[in-house]
Structure 1
Amino acid sequence: MNDGVPILIVEDEPPIRRLLRTSLGPNGFHVIEAETGGQALDLAAREKPDVMLLDLGLPDMDGSEVIRRLRSAGSRLPIIVLSSRGDERGKVEALDLGADDFVTKPFGMAELLARIRAALRHRVQDQGGDPLFQAGDVHVDLMRRRITRAGEAVKLSPKEYDILRLLVTHAGKVLTHRMLMQEVWGAAGDVQYLRIYIRQLRQKLERDPERPEIILTETGVGYRLVEPG
């Protein structure tokens, strides 16, 4: 029996696979490797990994197709995309298809391990996400619909609350502009509306709205709520 958390690495470049294998093994992971999308789908079904690291540029199919097939089959396997710098379109497509997060190459191992730990935490949460969130002096209790900052109640408009609820439910994960627009407004629309509401939320929740520490921008992609703590 293999010890460690099973993690499936889907990457066609041997040096990157070797780097990930030698770095993740000592950190408590049992590494499973695939070079193609076809192998990834087979191993995901057979080995039942707890998380997948997925490169988008595979020799037999695009990594986004791997995500689409897994999600179409009902798989909730956490997927972290390994993307090239500047590939915003690929990141957005992967996230909209159901990827949980992305890390841009070249990446630091400390950052990658943090993203993996966050993905594993999401895996064990209830389907609706953790209703309690705390970051600094901001507390959000979705069960009671209560938001406070430094002990003072924060009043939000219905749309502001809907956006914050989604961010809290998926804290630490990237939500794309399209995903937020679809969930809050019911259709894709002018992202400027979303930016206005994000700005208003930051005014109410951040110590310095111009240097946000809670609601973070993923440039060209969407927004991420900081991991609670």
Structure 2
Amino acid sequence: MTALPCILLADDDVALRQSVAEQLPLLDAVETVEAGTGAEALAAVAVRMPAAAVVGSSLPDMDGPGLCRRLRDAGMDGPVILLVRAGDEAGAMAGLEAGASETLVRPFRLGTLVTRLRTLQQAAARRQGEAAVTIGPYRFSPAAKLLEAADDGRRVRLTEKEAAILDYLHRAATGSIPNTGPGPNAGPGVVGREELLGEVWGYSAGVTTHTLETHIYRLRQKIETDPANAAILVTEPGGYRLIP
């Protein structure tokens, strides 16, 4: 008999954790594993790698972003949703940089959590089936969230959102998705900011174009020879274009 997917629930709020653990299997065919500390979460991962994780922003022994980073270091490549407090933009950004797939503002509806987990898992499954592609001087592996330089083999690790941005911009540049563009005068392969936000972050509350611009800036620091004069990920009126 095939085991059900395992979802790790790591949060110091016992009532919240137990409520999600009781209700989540009723809405989706999953098993849940609870952890009240970062150490318990890592111990659970060492026994069984979860398909996805829901992580609180503050645990007794480490913060949420720290646990996200430890989960990724332990080899977890499934979706990780970080639960944040309303207005904690710094914590949300730190979580995304540490490897969280998305942030979810608490309190939240269980149905919203389930929908986001499903959407993230579907996107991950799609990227798993995609072959590596060429972007500038790199080979880009969407599933591995990895860029490898063709000349010297240098590897560039990407966050979940950075990989999703490159993946979508590459598909737009190569005509794999309809070229809607930010306006009637947009050139081929140009993706508007709002479209990119919607594709990468979905309907995450509190995510603005500033969040996108911050990720674009950090991506350029990783992939451009001269980030101030981008030659791979360029800005166009109303949006961005990837030059593959």
**TM-score, normalised with respect to structure 1:** 0.65
Kept after mapping to 1: 8 A contact 2:85/2:106: yes
* 2: CA distance, partners of 1:17 / 1:106: 12
Which residue of structure 2 lines up, in the alignment, with residue 143 of structure 1? 174
Which residue of structure 2 lines up, in the alignment, with residue 69 of structure 1? 70
Q: Secondary structure at the match of 1:7?
A: strand
* 1: CA distance, partners of 2:142 / 2:196: 10
Which residue of structure 1 lines up, in the alignment, with residue 238 of structure 2? 200
Over residues 108-130 of structure 1, what are the superposed CA-to-partner deviations in whole Å (9 max), with x where a residue is unaligned?
12211111111211331225279
Which residue of structure 1 lines up, in the alignment, with residue 218 of structure 2? 182
Which residue of structure 2 lines up, in the alignment, with residue 108 of structure 1? 109
Number of residues of Structure 1 aligned to a counterpart in Structure 2: 187
Q: 1:169 to 1:74 in 2, by over 3 A?
A: farther
Matched, 1:10 2:24: no
Instruction: Note the 1:1-229 alignment, pairs <5 A.
Output: 4-27=4-27, 28-126=29-127, 127-128=141-142, 141-144=172-175, 147-149=178-180, 155-156=186-187, 160=190, 170=200, 172=202, 176-184=212-220, 200-201=238-239
Kept after mapping to 2: 8 A contact 1:81/1:102: yes
* 2: CA distance, partners of 1:125 / 1:85: 31
* 2: CA distance, partners of 1:64 / 1:8: 15
Q: Which amino acid aligns with 2:22?
A: T
Over residues 156-215 of structure 1, what are the superposed CA-to-partner deviations in whole Å (9 max), with x where a residue is unaligned?
388x5597997688464876543221224658x99xxxxxx698139xxxxxxxxxxxxx
* 1: CA distance, partners of 2:89 / 2:59: 17
Q: 1:102 to 1:147 in 2, by over 3 A?
A: same
Q: Which amino acid aligns with 2:85?
A: S
Structure 1 residue 3, shift from structure 2 partner: 5.3
* 2: CA distance, partners of 1:165 / 1:112: 22
Kept after mapping to 1: 8 A contact 2:9/2:55: yes
Kept after mapping to 2: 8 A contact 1:162/1:184: no
Q: Which amino acid aligns with 2:238?
A: Q
Larger RCO: 1 or 2 (CA < 8 Å, sep 6+): 1
Query: Over the residues paired in the alignment, what is the CA RMSD in angstroms?
Result: 4.0
Q: Which consecutive unaligned segments of at least 5 residues does structure 1 have?
A: 134-139, 191-196, 203-229
Q: Secondary structure at the match of 1:49?
A: coil
Q: Which amino acid aligns with 1:4?
A: L
* 2: CA distance, partners of 1:92 / 1:53: 16
* 2: CA distance, partners of 1:20 / 1:76: 22
Quote the sequence identity (%). 24
* 1: CA distance, partners of 2:106 / 2:22: 17
* 2: CA distance, partners of 1:100 / 1:168: 14
**TM-score, normalised with respect to structure 2:** 0.62
Q: Which amino acid aligns with 1:200?
A: G
Q: Secondary structure at the match of 1:52?
A: strand
Kept after mapping to 2: 8 A contact 1:2/1:30: no
Q: 1:15 to 1:145 in 2, by over 3 A?
A: closer
Kept after mapping to 2: 8 A contact 1:55/1:81: yes
Q: Which consecutive unaligned segments of at least 5 residues does structure 2 have?
A: 128-140, 144-163, 229-234
Over residues 52-111 of structure 1, what are the superposed CA-to-partner deviations in whole Å (9 max), with x where a residue is unaligned?
000011011112111122223443231100111111111110001110001111101221
